[in-house]
Amino acid sequence: EEDAALLAAGDGGSEREPADAPLPVLAVVGRPNVGKSTLVNRILGRREAVVQDVPGVTRDRVSYPAEWAGRRFTLVDTGGWEHDAAGLHARVADQAEVAIELADAVMFIVDATVGPTSTDEQVVRLLRKSGKPVVLVANKVDSPMQEADASALWSLGLGQPWPVSALHGRGSGDLLDAAMAILPEVSSVAAELPEGGPRRVALVGRPNVGKSSLLNALARQDRVVVHDVAGTTRDPVDELVVLGNRPWWFVDTAGIRRRVHQTKGADFYASLRTQAALEKAEVAVALVDASVPLTEQDIRVIQQVVDAGRALVIAYNKWDLMDEDKRFLLERAIDQDLVQLPWAPRVNLSAKTRWHVDKLVKALDTALEGWDTRIPTGRLNAFLGELTAANPHPVRGGKQPRILFATQADNRPPRFVIFATGFIEHGYRRFIERKLRENFGFEGTPIEISVRVRE
């Protein structure tokens, strides 16, 4: 019964693909528990042990190099993409939509023992709208007696249902042949993968500022060009959102999606969650509520981003609640509030009306560019030499520390080490930081400056 040849389908992970031709992408899509991961494992020739019955089980990757009948392709597993039980229906459709957009062809799996559900039908509509080629998989057809179940799936209008047992391998060879027949030779979606995969964004802010509203607004932005996400590591609590024609990971969104009950200690857990998200992120959108004054907790969250050394965008939400004259006063209040953070790009928006939500992309790009920046040592020292000659460190107790040399030891975030003949006081460090920003940008990123004293 078992389709032994299928087990020979290489996982090919050790071989590097030639950089010129991106492999076509085949996405496996379907409701939870229909057997997506089981089928992916079978195609990859892996053993059952990887699949678990636990929903939301951690899978470390979304896509894998695969091969069938001498053709190589990228297989995208959406098995770990859905999580919360609440709103599951909508989530499945959202994630399926992203997966479909990301694919050249789709394997749509339905559990033949259950038959088509309304969620399945919703996915069918997405598939139709996308115009992507589809093979319909009638899974869990473990024996010939169950083939009638598979025939019932003709009603979905996606053509022939392929009866398969992902668990035992039955029929999977024919299915893969059918998939290869619809998969284009050349990928039209796998292109310019950003180095290291999509950028990772944390959406942070105290409760009720509108994080989940913003996440919903973003997840519904137009999704146009799509990319191969091969080689990205991910967690099932991260969501792929396409903004400005590029995919972004919004990390650790489970806590945003899940309505956490307000109890004692909720503050503490909120800040732990923020910390966890920041650790995984490259850039944070710190969301605040523009309709009320900035609170201590808002400032703590923003400080957490800075302390974590992440790029920062500050978004003032609920701007729709502001009337014209209030807006003017608010702008001034904001400048006051953020006097310590003049470098963070700011976006005024409304998650509710989606006003200016699209402006986040540019702000994110700006912040990340600053965060990535490296200044060559020569340029840095030429700049510092002029700066300190024109504005020497004040004399303290008859001594005047001199700056000998500086280097940017790191980026992401930029870290500078200054070698000096004596202690450089705080005010002078801030002055140097301000001048570095004026000259080199660093918009949206914290900067660290440390001083080493050399006699």
**Residues binding ligand GDP (CB under 6 A):** 30, 32-38, 51, 53, 79, 139-140, 142, 165-167, 205, 207-213, 256, 317-318, 320-321, 350-352
* Rounded least distance, CB 115 to ligand GDP, Å: 15
Tell me the sheet residues that pair with 410: 415
Nearer to ligand GDP, 28 or 226 (CB): 28
Tell me whether residue 132 is annotated as binding. Answer: no
Is 210 labelled as part of a ligand binding site? yes
- 394 is written with which tokens? 């004040």
* 80-90 as b/e: b if 16+ CB within 10 A: bbbbeeeeeee
> How many beta carbons lie within 10 A of that of residue 157, not counting itself?
11
Residue 185: count other Cβ atoms within 10 Å of its Cβ.
9
Q: Would you state the structure tokens that stand for residue 31, as one six-digit string?
A: 């409701």
CB of 133 within 8 A of CB of 182? yes
Tokens encoding 405: 């040399």
Min dist CB 167 to ligand GDP, Å, is 3
Closer to ligand GDP by CB, 81 or 416: give it. 81
114 is in an annotated binding site: no
How far apart are CB 317 and ligand GDP at their closest, in Å? 5
CA atoms within 13 A on the CB side of 104: 23
Q: Is residue 154 part of an annotated ligand binding site? A: no
Q: Is 61 buried (19+), middle (13-18) or exposed (0-12) by CB count in 10 A?
A: middle
Residue 187 or 213: which CB sits closer to ligand GDP? Answer: 213
> Which residue shows structure tokens 């919703």?
122
Q: Which three-class secondary structure state does DSSP give residue 332?
A: helix
Q: Known binder of ligand: residue 142?
A: yes
The minimum distance between CB 42 and ligand GDP, in angstroms, equals: 9
Chain-centroid distance of CA 442 in Å reads 22
As a whole number of angstroms, the distance between CA 72 and CA 65 comes to 7
Question: Among 235, 239, 177, which Cα is nearest to 212's?
Answer: 239
Main-chain phi, psi angles of 176, to 5 degrees: -65, -35
- Residue 252 marked as a ligand binder: yes
CB of 53 or CB of 455, closer to ligand GDP: 53
140 marked ligand binding residue: yes
Least Cβ distance, residue 331 to ligand GDP (angstroms): 17
Q: How far is the CB of 416 from ligand GDP (least distance, A)?
A: 35
Q: Which is nearer to ligand GDP, 255 or 414 (CB)?
A: 255
Question: Is 139 annotated as belonging to a binding site?
Answer: yes
Asked whether residue 381 is marked as a ligand-binding residue, the answer is: no
C-alpha distance from residue 443 to each of 333, 360, 363, 448 (Å): 21, 14, 9, 14
Tokens of 437: 């920003």
Alpha carbon distance 44, 6 (integer Å): 8
Three-state DSSP at 422 gives: coil
Residue 146 CB, shortest distance to ligand GDP, in Å, is 9
DSSP assignment of 176-199, as one string?
HHHHHHHS-SS-SS---PPTTSSE
Of the two residues 76 and 351, which places its CB atom closer to ligand GDP in the complex? 351
CB of 10 to ligand GDP, least distance (A): 21
Cβ distance 110 to 82 under 8 Å? Answer: no
- Taking the least distance from each CB to ligand GDP, the nearer of 88 and 449 is 88
Select 35 or 197, whichever has its Cβ closest to ligand GDP: 35
DSSP H or E run through 395: none
Asked whether residue 61 is marked as a ligand-binding residue, the answer is no
79 is an annotated ligand-binding site residue: yes
174 known member of a binding site: no
CB closer to ligand GDP out of 22 and 205: 205
In the complex, least distance from residue 25 CB atom to ligand GDP, rounded to whole angstroms: 18
Binding site as annotated, residues for GTP: 30-37, 77-81, 139-142, 205-212, 252-256, 317-320
Binding site as annotated, residues: 30-37, 77-81, 139-142, 205-212, 252-256, 317-320
